[in-house]
Amino acid sequence: MADSPTMRAGYEVLSELPKVRHESPMLSLDKTKEPAALRDWLNGQEGLLSWKLDGLTIVLTYRDGKLFQAATRGNGEVGEIITNNARVFKNIPLAIPFHGELVLRGEAVITYSDFEKINAEIEEVDAKYKNPRNLCSGSVRQLNNEITAKRTVRFFAFTLVRAESGQEQDAFHPETRAEQMAWLRSQGFETVEERLVTPETVEEAVAAFAEKIESNDFPSDGLVLTYNNIAYGEGLGRTSKFPRHSIAFKWRDEVRETTLLEIEWSPSRTGLINPVAIFEPVELEGTSVSRASLHNISIMEGLELGIGDRITVYKANMIIPQLADNLTRSGVAPVPEVCPVCGQPTRIREENETKTLYCVNEECPAKKIKQFTHFVSRDAMNIDGLSEATLEKFIDERMIAEPADLFHLDRCREQITQMEGFGEKSFQNLLASIEKAREVSVAKFVYSLGILNIGLANAKLICRQFGNDIEAVRHAGREELVEIEGIGEVIADSVVAFFADEKNARILDDLLKEVTFLKEEETGDRLAGKTFVITGSVERFANRSELKAEIERQGGKVTGSVTAKTDYLINNDNQSGSSKNKKAKELGVPVITEEEFLALLGE
């Protein structure tokens, strides 16, 4: 059999994932949330309605009947080659009957049931994966395909790009999308569920799909409607943003009513203590949800939250749990007067009409743990194998007291290998990750230090201004910093205060003995002086971080909230009623899609 276990045996570890340019751009689709709009869109034609699975789009190429290459969608133009990982997907045929060159596209997904099994094996709450899509994305892009094999990734084909052969009579040129899907199934592929529709039946079909959401084991964020007649659809061409042969239908936010059980207060590395709503579990978008961040005291007050209140919750962009409303509004839950971790007094701060709670104890254990967690995070030093729970154990066992100690964990081999969850192999993998982290960009290094108010974007702006010279950055004055576009007085004061602190200076000196700085790649200036906010899901880029990196590479800045200083809000669903969209419209900030963003770059 093509997909027999014996043909999949053997794993391989790569040093990187090579890039590949797609033979034709993979464009995003126009969207609607109105079923009636689909009826009008069909314009009298027959269509094929199918799930829009929420995973990672993959392009497969077969030659001579065998899997030749698998690549991610990437930014739509360039993806990453993941052939080794695709070979260990649960249901991809490694050999097929067709012996010409076959190119098809589909979605790699992890089912809800497999997602729950994987998370159930992880004891630490903070180490659990957030949702199937994130887990799938990380699994598909692993350098070690043995890890991918354990993640039960599945592939569902959704379109045939081409099936060519040296013998024309052997090529496959169907007239309809339905024929494409049937042929792909005959080749051994699992396909997305589809249904033929007309303008008269499409709304009924949407309702039928909607009824399956709660019992569906596969994550989906909507439907895709495609003209069944291939020549008709392709003949319509494309707009500057989207192809005209297909349209995406997005589900409206699913809202559930539940009861507020408590407010949990979660300390951060900066001393900020975030309120988190804990409520009776509800099913949202196919997963059980029981907690949502409230962000600050002002939001609590606005919702007039009291324990036992009836609240409504939803998932923003079908991912992040949020409180929609408080139906009973019994009053504001009490704010703790002492830190839940160290027991020292808390303080309420008010800035820009927003109240936040802080622990003022500089030696609070929660701060130290969170600071280490931040230091090793992906956007900072990127040291794999160090969860918050592991770091807490290392701190408790006095193996680490400051960040530089991480680079000498080789001295603690006996202690670490005897810890639960750690063996010799895990220990060696950790050491390899630490060694790799010794080479880092100046901006990521500065970000890793955990300076108050400094995100990676601001760190890049500052480091770029000072020629990526760490000594120039640490000795920069307030006046020099505020001259940088996008750096205000608050940020400048944070930077100056951090480097002026004797304890921080000692920590920095110790770290500088352990790292070497990478030479920064050349950057452009097409977005110089422009400030962006990104919201919603992205399709032309692998993730928001990649889009953010491109903006910064072109001299722009990315912030988290829309203000009068924002130049553009990037949101593919630019007609949504999200809070960021509403704020942008109030302030007259243009809301643009990824396609329009790329147009700004002249791409």
The residues carrying an active-site annotation are 52
Task: Output DSSP code: residue 229.
Answer: B
d(C-alpha 194, C-alpha 202), whole Å? 12
**Measured distance CA(331)–CA(10) in Å, rounded:** 60
- CA dist 26 and 540 (Å) reads 8
Degrees to nearest 5, angle at CA 505 with 500 and 508: 135
Paired with 262 in beta bridges are 278
DSSP secondary-structure letter at 338? B
Q: Which two tokens stand for residue 510?
A: 């110790």
219 and 112 in contact (C-beta within 8 Å)? yes
Longest dimension (CA), the chain: 80
Phi, psi for 406 (deg, rounded to 5): -60, -30
Is the CB of residue 374 less than 8 Å from the CB of residue 444?
no
Query: Which residues are CB-contacts of 234 (< 8 A; sequence separation ≥ 6)?
Result: 245
The count of other CB atoms within 10 Å of the CB of residue 505 is 13
How far is the C-alpha of 296 from the C-alpha of 323, rounded, in Å?
13
| The residue count for the chain | 603
For tokens 């949330």, name the residue: 33
- 3-state DSSP helix/strand/coil % of the chain, to nearest 5: 35, 25, 40
One-letter amino acid of 450: G
- Which helix (H) or strand (E) segment holds residue 474: the answer is helix 470-474
Q: Which two tokens stand for residue 31?
A: 């969207």
